[in-house]
Structure 1
Amino acid sequence: MKKYKLLLVTVMLLAFSFAKAQEKIVWEISSGDTAQQRILFRQINNVLTAAPDTKIEVVFHGFAIFAVLNDTGYFHQQILQAHKKGVVIAACNNSLKSRNISKDRVIPEATIVPVSILEIAAKQREGWSYIKAE
């Protein structure tokens, strides 16, 4: 009987720890469409309003790479606000290279990752939820 009680307590503690686990979300955006980017930032704000401790990383690649450049980013203020709230802004180096864009043009708040898909896959291996912005 003691074994069953110990097992039950262990299961309950594990269930409680999973329920209290911090959410971690990696968002992927490849579109240069400003309407889709606007929706992305609204969704990020909605999540952080409902669950302020959520860890978020947004991976910009493809045509979305222009959103994280000093001279072409339409949502620079939203990126700065998200960054101040702890959101990691990741820019794909492959997307920069394929468009002959210098890393110097990337906003200082962004982290440059070698390959967007590998960054997303690594986050998923670490237990992050994946969201494709569309």
Structure 2
Amino acid sequence: MKGLRLLFVSFLLAGASQLKAQEKIVWEIASGDTVHQRILFRQINNVLTAAPDTKIEVVFHSLAIFAVLKDTGYFKEQILQAHKRGVVIAVCNNSLKSRNISKDRVIPEAVIVPVSILEIAGKQREGWSYIKAE
């Protein structure tokens, strides 16, 4: 009977530790559509409200890079608020180069990664959950 109780307690403790595991999410956004971008920022806010310790990185590539440029971004305030809450804003250098956009035009809160897909794959290898923004 004592062994059975010990086994039960160990299962409870194992389950509790699983619940406290920190979530890590890497979001990919390629769309330049402001509707998709608005949804992305709402989802990020919802996640951080429900689970403030969640680690989040958003990888902007393709047409979405215009959202993180100093002179063209429509959601600068949402990006700044997300950044203040610990969200990493990553921008694909290949997307910048293919459009002849200087790195100097990228907002200072963003980090530039060489290749968006490799950044996302690396995060997945590290155990991050992958979400594609639509």
TM-score of the superposition, structure 1-length normalised? 0.91
SS at match of 1:56: strand
- Specify the alignment match of 2:46 in structure 1: 46
C-alpha separation in 1, matches of 2:75 and 2:84: 14
SS at match of 2:47: helix
C-alpha separation in 2, matches of 1:3 and 1:61: 55
Report how many residues are paired. Answer: 134
Structure 1 position 18, deviation (Å): 1.9
C-alpha separation in 2, matches of 1:18 and 1:84: 27
Alpha-carbon deviations, 1:98-122, whole Å to 9, x = none?
A: 0010000000000000100011011
Matching of residues 1-134 of structure 1 within 5 Å? 12-134=12-134
Aligned AA for 2:101?
Answer: I
Aligned AA for 1:70?
Answer: K
TM-score of the superposition, structure 2-length normalised? 0.91
Aligned AA for 2:84?
Answer: K
Structure 1, unpaired ranges of 5+: none
C-alpha separation in 2, matches of 1:11 and 1:122: 32
Structure 1 position 19, deviation (Å): 1.7
Aligned AA for 2:30?
Answer: S
Aligned AA for 2:18?
Answer: F
State the identity %: 82
Structure 2, unpaired ranges of 5+: none
Aligned AA for 1:98?
Answer: S
C-alpha separation in 1, matches of 2:15 and 2:112: 37
SS at match of 1:78: helix
